[in-house]
Amino acid sequence: MKKILIPLLAFFLFACDKIESPVAEEYGKFDWSFFPGDPADYTSNYYDIANPQNEWGENLNEKGILLEDYTGHLCTNCPEAGIIAKSIEEDSSLNVIVASIHASIDGGFQETDELFTNNYETEAGNEYVRGSEMNGFLGNPMGTINRNDGGLSNSVWYLKSQWVSGVNDENDNDSLNINIQIKSFNFSQTNGLYVHTETSVLNDLTGNYHLVLYLIRNDVISPQKFDQGIIDTNYHHHAILSDNINGTWGTQIINGSVLKDSVIYNDFSYQLPDPAIDLSYNVENLSIIGYVLNRDNMRILQVVKEELE
């Protein structure tokens, strides 16, 4: 798969100021070959509606919680954790978004053979559990809750038995300092995806903040191992992280101080895997999860999800 990880532009706007032709100066940073036609048609017919400030949807200032479920198809305790994660997500009052990340310290739960033919590991997922920036991962299943430090030994990592209480605790902290909206367009002729984001600063902020975009497959059917050697060959894997559209740690959008009411625009191009080769990449089965991450302490400030069409 091919991706262009460079954001097209990032603008800080104040109040309702507007910028003329915001995309034109940086054509070279988009892969326009993903657009089946003249790029000028894209900018006139698609980009002009990509960033309408505060007009993309309802509940624009509702805080979201990202529950990352670290799992594996050979992990016999993971299906129970998956049930917990999905039940939390289905409780609309909690506003939880789940990403199932197939990663483990040694990759043992991700191994493939004649039956388990799909490896769902990603470069980012492996870095999260094996790297030095999110210490404390003990083994699958574990999870993070907005990557706050309320987990085991004040780490970002929660046991599955702690997920409900951890989500409730995070909901009690309902302050929202930044918000995200996502607009995307995809073109089946090239499997090209263009993603536009609008990040609104709700209160003055200082620090190092990154925008991260996950490509999610909503439902993938493939084998899963259970206790006592039982294998469900028709298991529904939920919300699989399939790639990071803009890299493991995303795109820096704030470095220093930014004032309340600033708006930051970012734009990305990406080539989706061919659904003719893997049906699970049908657009109707794909979503984008976007979140803003404080790189100094790993805490996620806001998360949203957009279904592709």
d(CA 272, CA 142): 29
Helix or strand (DSSP H, E) at 163: helix 163-172
Q: Which amino acid is at 47?
A: Y
| Least confidently predicted of 8-17, 105-114, 160-169, 203-212 | 8-17
Summarised one tens digit per residue, pLDDT across range 86-127 is: 999 999 999 999 999 999 999 999 999 999 999 999 999 999
| Rounded alpha-carbon distances, angstroms, from residue 163 to 10, 138, 271 | 35, 16, 34
pLDDT of 15 above 60: no
Contacting residues for 16 by C-beta, under 8 A, at least 6 apart? 53
pLDDT of 209 above 90: yes
Q: How many domains does the chain contain in total?
A: 1
DSSP for 232-255, please give it.
ETT-EEEEEEEEETT-TT-EEEEE
Q: Which domain holds residue 290?
A: 3-307
| Rounded alpha-carbon distances, angstroms, from residue 275 to 53, 236, 247 | 33, 18, 22
d(CA 70, CA 46): 36
d(CA 168, CA 145): 10
Average pLDDT, the chain: 89
pLDDT of 190 above 70: yes
* Packing angle, helices 163-172 and 78-90, rounded to 10: 30
Contact 34, 1 (CB under 8 A): no
Summarised one tens digit per residue, pLDDT across range 20-40 is: 334 433 445 688 899 999 988
d(CA 103, CA 207): 29
| Rounded alpha-carbon distances, angstroms, from residue 127 to 78, 111, 256 | 20, 17, 26
| Least confidently predicted of 8-17, 51-60, 219-228, 288-297 | 8-17
